[in-house]
Amino acid sequence: MALIVQKYGGSSLESAERIRAVAERIVATKKAGNDVVVVCSAMGDTTDELLDLAAQVNPTPPAREMDMLLTAGERISNSLVAMAVASYGVDVQSFTGSQAGVITTERHGNARIIDVTPGRVQEAVDAGKIAIVAGFQGVNRDTRDITTLGRGGSDTTAVALAAAMNADECEIYSDVDGVYTADPRIVSDARKLDKLCFEEMLELAASGSKILVLRSVEYARAFNVPMRVRSSYSNDTGTLVAGALEDIPMEEAVLSGVATDDTEAKITVLGIPDTPGEAAKLFRALADAEINIDMVLQNISTLEEKKTDITFTLPIPDRPRCMDLLSKLKESEGWGDVIYNDDVGKVSLVGAGMKSHPGVTADFTEALRDAGVNIEMITTSEIRITAVVRDADLAEATRAIHDRFDLGGDEPAVVYAGTGR
């Protein structure tokens, strides 16, 4: 008997009707002879609505209380799905994250899973029941407080449970049929991919593809859990994410897709002395403040000789905090000005095929040139090229690259639901 973990996202659970449809699928999976563990996200846009509500009562709510609030979203969907499953006469039991043994760090709002002890879930499964687990939440052993795993964290819950329970596959259900060559909301002829290796999916997720949360893919790769991304609105078999980059035969390695990210800002620190240790000071300070930077560029300073300018990208929400920190450092270190720009976006081309295809960077940059898009920063890695462009140009840049590398399909991509929020 196979053990299947299924995770249903908010758009798959946005109404009572959808919850019943999901329950039907869960029951069918069980009746087909599988053991089934289900992880649910909150219904529809619940998490965003709870965040809005919190902001109305307190602009800076205590992090612990925020987690108490947000985890309620998953408990609602979780119990409703269990009720719907029970209505089919099937044995079912729901669990909160902490009941399911999801142990995390204590960092509210962005906790990491450090252990999963799914004893109760396993007992339920062994007793022939379908187990339903609330996603996105866990508990810290020291504080005994409830935590959340960061936005989109239910994917991580599902993969972590699948790893701990040795599941055969972790199915992630959302509102599209799988992983596409580009965001179908931007590129109308985006094509669904049948298979990707973990590294390709990691690069796509890290470059802004919202289909899977990055941490879940990191987890799946570390524990070798095959993930299948599919839709709760269709019977398409979706996209399988499994296997290592080095195991892809050269002739099968292709360019897989274009990812876009409009959530990053760019900061430039001008006039840093061009001597050993200065960049280290800058990046250590950011690391200590837990600011995750992405692309970095160091240039000869436009200000004076023997100075350099350092530019990097970071998530927009971290930008104000980062500017405060750098303004202080600038004073103490005697650096030049610190400037920022939120109106940037990143476009990335990802694929194992890049390793063996020469000239990809040339084609990439020509595609942007032909679309009249200026490149502000560019980096390449083994299987990815990323350019920072004006965010007004992002959609056009994405379409231009997608076209240039012939990634499109014949049928228009379908987006079944979701508000895109």
- Closer CB to ligand ASP, 135 or 353, in the complex: 135
- Closer CB to ligand ASP, 50 or 90, in the complex: 50
Position 153 contacts Mg ion (CB under 5 A): no
Position 151 contacts ligand ASP (CB under 6 A): yes
Task: Please indicate if the annotation marks 74 as binding a ligand.
Answer: yes
Binding part of the chain for Mg ion, among 5-13, 132-140, 189-197, 401-409 by CB under 5 A, reads 5-13
CA dist., res. 240 & res. 228, Å (int): 4
Position 10 contacts Mg ion (CB under 5 A): yes
Q: In whole angstroms, how close is the CB of 47 to Mg ion at the nearest point? A: 6
Q: In whole angstroms, how close is the CB of 7 to ligand ASP at the nearest point? A: 8
- Closer CB to ligand ASP, 155 or 393, in the complex: 155
- Sign of torsion, CA 20 82 85 104? positive
Position 136 contacts ligand ASP (CB under 6 A): yes
Task: Please indicate if the annotation marks 8 as binding a ligand.
Answer: yes
Task: Please indicate if the annotation marks 321 as binding a ligand.
Answer: no
Bridge-based pairing of strands 113-116 and 102-104 is antiparallel
Asked if 381 contacts 206 with a C-beta cutoff of 8 angstroms, the reply is: no
Binding part of the chain for ligand ASP, among 147-155, 181-189, 260-268, 328-336 by CB under 6 A, reads 147-155
Q: In whole angstroms, how close is the CB of 82 to ligand ASP at the nearest point? A: 17
Contact pattern from residue 402 through residue 421 relative to ligand ASP, giving x for each residue in contact according to CB under 6 A and a dash for the rest: --------------------
Integer Rg of the chain from CA:
23
Query: How many residues are there in the chain?
Result: 421
Q: In whole angstroms, how close is the CB of 8 to ligand ASP at the nearest point? A: 10
Name every residue whose Cβ is closer than 8 Å to that of residue 361 and which is 6 or more positions away in sequence. 380, 385
Binding part of the chain for Mg ion, among 9-17, 110-118, 174-182, 282-290 by CB under 5 A, reads 9-17
- By rule CB under 6 A, what count of residues binds ligand ASP? 13
Task: Please indicate if the annotation marks 104 as binding a ligand.
Answer: no
- Sign of torsion, CA 146 149 150 151? negative
Task: Please indicate if the annotation marks 9 as binding a ligand.
Answer: yes
CA dist., res. 151 & res. 352, Å (int): 28
Q: List the beta bridge partners of residue 258.
A: 349
Q: What is the dihedral of CA 394, 399, 404, 406, to 10 degrees?
A: 140
Q: In whole angstroms, how close is the CB of 396 to Mg ion at the nearest point? A: 28
Q: Looking at 34, 41, 78, 94, which residue binds ligand ASP (CB under 6 A)?
A: 41
Q: Looking at 26, 42, 205, 225, which residue binds ligand ASP (CB under 6 A)?
A: 42
Position 73 contacts ligand ASP (CB under 6 A): yes
Task: Retrieve residue 180's tokens.
Answer: 């596409």
Task: Please indicate if the annotation marks 366 as binding a ligand.
Answer: no
Q: In whole angstroms, how close is the CB of 261 to Mg ion at the nearest point? A: 18
Position 138 contacts ligand ASP (CB under 6 A): no
Residues between 27 and 46 with contacts to Mg ion, criterion CB under 5 A:
41
| Contact partner, 154, from ligand ASP, Mg ion, none, Cβ < 5-8 Å per class | ligand ASP
Name every residue whose Cβ is closer than 8 Å to that of residue 240 and which is 6 or more positions away in sequence. 194, 195, 196, 226, 227, 228
Binding-site positions for substrate: 47, 74
Binding site for ligand ASP (CB under 6 A): 9-10, 41-42, 47, 73, 135-136, 151-155
Residues making up the binding site: 7-10, 47, 74, 180, 185
Q: Contact positions toward Mg ion, by CB under 5 A?
A: 10, 41
